[in-house]
Amino acid sequence: KQFAETPHKMLALELGGNNPLVIWNAKDVETAATVAVQSAYLTAGQRCTAARRLIVEDGKCDELINAIRKYIDRMIVDQPFADPQPFMGPVIDLAAADHVQEQWLNLMMKGGKPLCRLDRPDKETPFLTPGLIDVTDVRDRPDEEIFGPVLW
């Protein structure tokens, strides 16, 4: 009620969870891919509102996934003021990077299929490359939020 009369103000509730991004009947696949990439990866996936799960109509995901993969392939991961300017920086610390990698491996061990592999170029820094994984066939999928650059 408090914000009903102010539609020009954004109201965002950070309630945690594995935030789904539903893309259904997308008329403009490139724009949909851009939104998915920005939501999932812009803050290295460390925002409570970052997209974690991508829900797409059966049989309609190939074009969208290919567009997302093209963006991921071009993505620069580096220090905030690096040149060229990065799209994404590190996760908060080494322990967080370790944990995200463990969660990624756990999904793969349960049947996840990596579409873009989550990598850690340097074990001494908390930089991770953006991961994209198909969890359609994952058994006993954990309901744990992954605070890192992973979209599933």
- The catalytic residue positions are 14, 48
Q: How many helices (DSSP H) and strands (DSSP E) are in the chain?
A: 3, 5
HEC assignment per residue over 65-128: HHHHHHHHHHCCECCCCCCCCCCECCCCCHHHHHHHHHHHHHHHHCCCEEEECCCCCCCCCCCC
Structure tokens given for 32: 């949909």
